[in-house]
């Protein structure tokens, strides 16, 4: 069939227009897909960052602690070597400081949380004590002031035991013992001053125990806030030497509790 030049140009133009429309449509689809993918990627990053944000804060704080120790001649490598050397010595001396008993209900409550954290309850001794703190721990012992402990909310009680379990998991008492020995070896006083590396470490390990327990979920974070507020009512302000300021703990608990993607 003979096609005139004029008609041929119209046909070519129409073909290009249709092809252009198809390409435009495809490019739009591709663009939309890329944008959707970017949003999904952003949401995924946000979800990961929600948990990691507080861990990053801990990492930053720990770096500052090691900088302060390095100024007095104690490096992280030297500490790690000493920790391996002194750990067995410490564990041989880690026995209950007192013989006060706790009720079977409290004992079962604590043992249930130990299991939740992956610790065999048979490896931890649970005893009573008369300290103002409702709970405390060494490497192999959890101490409970049952009279104080039972006045806290259920969420706060979970948090309190979780906090002490974090000390066990991170070998915090043994670490403090090792760092004290290294300070003594270097002729560094171990007095309780806010600026001393030992006290900086002490405040850090308390913050780490708070954060890692609260990050287990909303109820745990609520327990952190309940505990901090109630303890503040009972004990008032603290000097912030071996433990973070109680006002700072309340603020951190609120920040974790209200973080957008905390489960």
Q: Write the pLDDT tens digit of every residue in 118-153.
A: 999 999 999 999 998 999 999 999 999 999 999 999
Domains of the chain, residue spans: 49-93+154-257
41: pLDDT strictly greater than 50:
no
pTM above 0.95, yes or no: no
194 CB-side CA count, 13 A: 6
DSSP 165-227: HHHHHTTHHHHHHHHHHHHHHTT------TTSHHHHHHHHHHHHHHHHHHTT-HHHHHHHHHH
CB-based burial of residue 129 (10 Å sphere; 0-12 exposed, 13-18 middle, 19+ buried)?
A: buried
Query: Poorest-confidence range of 82-91, 157-166, 244-253?
Result: 82-91
Residue 95 confidence (pLDDT): 78
**Strand 141-144, strand 135-137: pairing:** antiparallel
pLDDT-derived band of residue 88, with 50, 70 and 90 as boundaries?
confident
Rounded to whole angstroms, the Cα distance separating 227 from 153 reads 8
Label the pairing between strands 125-128 and 141-144.
parallel
What is the rounded (10 degree) CA torsion for 157, 161, 164, 166? -120
């Amino acid at each position: 069939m003979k096609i005139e030049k004029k008609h041929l140009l119209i046909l070519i133009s129409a073909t290009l227009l249709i092809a252009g429309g198809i390409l435009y449509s495809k490019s739009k689809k591709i663009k939309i897909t890329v944008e959707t993918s970017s949003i999904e990627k952003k949401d995924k990053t946000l979800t990961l960052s929600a948990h990691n944000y507080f861990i990053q804060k801990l990492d930053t704080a720990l770096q500052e602690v090691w900088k302060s120790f390095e100024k007095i001649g104690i490096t992280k490598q030297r500490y790690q070597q000493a920790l391996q050397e002194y750990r067995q010595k410490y564990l041989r001396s880690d026995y209950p400081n007192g013989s006060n008993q706790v009720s079977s209900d409290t004992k079962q409550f604590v043992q249930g949380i130990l299991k939740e954290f992956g610790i065999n309850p048979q490896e931890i001794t649970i005893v009573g004590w008369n300290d103002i703190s409702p709970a405390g721990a060494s490497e192999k012992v959890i101490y409970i002031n049952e009279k104080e402990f039972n006045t806290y909310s259920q969420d706060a009680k979970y948090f309190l035991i979780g906090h002490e379990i974090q000390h066990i998991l991170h070998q915090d008492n043994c670490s403090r013992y090792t760092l004290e020995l290294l300070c003594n070896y270097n002729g560094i006083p171990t007095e309780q001053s806010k600026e001393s590396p030992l006290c900086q470490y002490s405040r850090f390990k308390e913050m780490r125990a708070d954060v890692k327990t609260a990050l287990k979920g909303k109820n745990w974070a609520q327990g952190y806030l309940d505990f901090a507020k109630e303890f503040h009512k009972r004990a008032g302000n603290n000097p912030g030497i071996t433990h973070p300021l109680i006002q700072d703990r309340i603020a951190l608990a609120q920040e974790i509790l209200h973080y957008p993607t905390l489960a």
